[in-house]
Amino acid sequence: MANQESNNPEPWNNLEGKVILVTGASSSLDRELCLNLARVGCKIVAVAHRTDRLKSLCDEINHPAFSGSPLNPNTTVRAVAVEFDVTADDPTIDASVHKAWDGFGRIDVLINNVGFRGTVKNSLELDEEEWGEGMKTNLNGTWLVSKHVCRRMRHGHRIWDVQCEGKRNITWTLQIRDNRGLTTKKLAE
């Protein structure tokens, strides 16, 4: 399958009604991402371990006066919160993904954006515990969430991977993988 650069991958022409699961949705950047996606009509499955922040985010999106949402005003549920620990074991993450899937009966997009930064140190000064925490969250957690979401998505769904790169100048890149191959599109800088 060919890797092709596309200026206009058609799934991003209309986001209205797309169900998007965002990991780490209780933090500031991901919270704003959820709000912006909801404003363009997406349904949000917000997951994180801080349920009080998730509830606040979902209450804001589900409020009838939420600004900018093109969804039918009779649609009251535009966001659901799911407690989710990406450092859990495989069966626990599978159960959490199942619960997230049941929020709207599907997931169209996974934004697997939770991460553990830890302290900024030279790798020679990093202790094994901090290294392990980073690997458990950033590598194992990302893989397990992707594995269980994609297993459900592969039956009639496209697998979308949205990546965020950079510390100050953030670049958002979309990759869509389906039976036609891989399409890559830079979304924003």
pLDDT at 69 (0 to 100)? 55
- In our burial notation (b when 16+ CB lie closer than 10 A, e otherwise), range 41-57 reads bbbbbbbbeeeebbeeb
Distance CA 15, CA 91 (A): 31
What domains are there in the chain, each with its CATH number?
Answer: 3-188 (3.40.50.720)
Q: Which structure tokens are listed for 161?
A: 């991977």
pLDDT at 15 (0 to 100)? 79
pLDDT at 4 (0 to 100)? 44
What secondary structure does DSSP assign to the chain, as a single string? --EEE-S--GGGS--TT-EEEEETTTSHHHHHHHHHHHHTT-EEEEEES-HHHHHHHHHHHHSTT-TT--S-TT---SEEEEE--TTS-HHHHHHHHHHHHHTTT--SEEE-----------TTT--HHHHHHHHIIIIIIHHHHHHHHHHHHTTT--EEEEEEE-SSS-EEEEEEEETTEEEEEEEE-
pLDDT at 5 (0 to 100)? 43
pLDDT at 103 (0 to 100)? 94
**For every one of its 189 residues, what pLDDT tens digit does the chain have, with 9 covering 90 and above?**
444 444 444 555 677 888 999 988 888 788 888 998 898 889 999 999 888 999 999 999 998 878 655 555 556 789 999 998 888 999 999 999 999 999 999 998 888 877 666 677 777 887 888 878 877 877 788 889 989 998 888 766 555 555 555 444 445 555 555 555 555 555 544
pLDDT at 82 (0 to 100)? 94
pLDDT at 152 (0 to 100)? 87
Residues in the chain, overall count: 189
